Amino acid sequence: MLCDDYKRVVYFFLDGSLSQRRVLELQTHISICHHCEERTTIHRKLRDFVRKRLAPVSAPEHLKVRLVQSIRVAE
């Protein structure tokens, strides 16, 4: 695998949607290419940061109750 190949598949790798063969190819490349290894670390940290910031937040229970009551009244 070349660095250009890595750039095309790194997001699929982080999503877990690559075939096992491609994962092994990417891991082999990362183990010998320090630049791509660093990029993988940065991408992984960025994804984790965004995922934490966009984590689903549940509405407070009292708001859910009011919403359900409003819908029932409207019906």
Q: What does the block give as tokens for 68?
A: 């359900």
Q: Where are the domains of the chain?
A: 3-74
Q: What one-character DSSP code corresponds to residue 58?
A: P
pTM for the whole structure: 0.64
Q: What is the pLDDT along the chain (75 residues), one digit of tens a residue?
A: 899 999 999 999 999 999 999 999 999 999 999 999 999 999 999 999 998 888 788 889 999 999 999 898 877
Which value, to the nearest 10 degrees, does the dihedral of the CA atoms of residues 35, 36, 38, 43 take? 140
Residues contacting residue 23 through CB under 8 Å, at least 6 positions apart: 13
């010998």: which residue's tokens? Answer: 32
Q: Alpha-carbon distance 22 to 25, whole Å?
A: 5
